[in-house]
Structure 1
């Protein structure tokens, strides 16, 4: 549903934003990069089936550079998943290193940000629930929280 009014995201407590992706450097080597691309949906399905692991929400965009945005409840939960020998992550990482390694076919990257409660702001207009608003809750912007500074409680 598209929300025509100004909306913002509400999320309780600290959380983590995890950006992850890959860049297809040699698109003609499909057999090398496709397994890398195909594993992320499996990992997300695993995490969605086990909400106690801490994934709050994830979104993906596909092009030559694939970008995923994930919201996690805590850094500890994200790191625990990354190191869990029973999860899909470690076998996928081992397969990547075996098939691709540093041959340049596909690049992978991630960035991780720990966000303290109240240290974020957002605005959505003419948008469905998206991003942080899907990880938390979408709420109408109140008159006293109309600007980014007000939403951050940093009025001049």
Structure 2
């Protein structure tokens, strides 16, 4: 279902002093190895459903893109929330990771990667022009850009 476009210019206004940005993805190095690619790809939707049912887990929001290289961009309350989820024996990540390491890692069939950034809110800058809710603004809070926030420098309080 398409999201409704919000006309105008908006910026993200997260609460707190930091936001944790987590990028994770996989690459079908040997796309013809359909079984390995499908098993690896199937793990993420289970994790996202689990996180959606548990707001206390700390996931603020996520967006994903699919292709030979797949990317999930997510925003978390803290690195501790992310690490707690990754190590939780009752959550779907740990078993999926162990299965990947046992069955697929080292074969060259599928690559996986992730990057984590803890970003001070004071150092964030965003703009969304004529967009549906997206990115950090969809994961946290979105506000219309007004006087004193027209430029990136102003939004970062660097003027």
TM bucket, shorter chain: over 0.9
Aligned pair count? 155
Give the SS at the match of 1:154. coil
Structure 1 match to 2:20: 16
Question: Which consecutive residues of structure 1, in runs of 5 or more, have no partner in the other structure?
Answer: none
Between structures 1 and 2, the one with greater strand share: 2
CA RMSD after TM alignment: 0.8
Structure 2 match to 1:128: 132
- Equivalent-residue separation in structure 2 for 1:58 and 1:35 (angstroms): 21
Structure 2 match to 1:72: 76
C-alpha offsets along residues 11-48 of structure 1, whole Å, 9 cap, x if unaligned?
A: 11121000000010111110111111011010011011
Question: Which consecutive residues of structure 2, in runs of 5 or more, have no partner in the other structure?
Answer: none
TM norm structure 2? 0.95
The offset of 1:4, in angstroms, is 2.0
- Equivalent-residue separation in structure 1 for 2:91 and 2:29 (angstroms): 28
Give the SS at the match of 1:144. coil
- Equivalent-residue separation in structure 1 for 2:63 and 2:128 (angstroms): 16
TM norm structure 1? 0.97
The offset of 1:86, in angstroms, is 1.4
Q: Is the counterpart of residue 47 in structure 1 residue 51 in structure 2?
A: yes
The offset of 1:117, in angstroms, is 2.4
Q: Is the counterpart of residue 28 in structure 1 residue 32 in structure 2?
A: yes
After the TM superposition, list the runs of 4 or more consecutive aligned residues in structure 1 that deviate by more than 3 angstroms: none
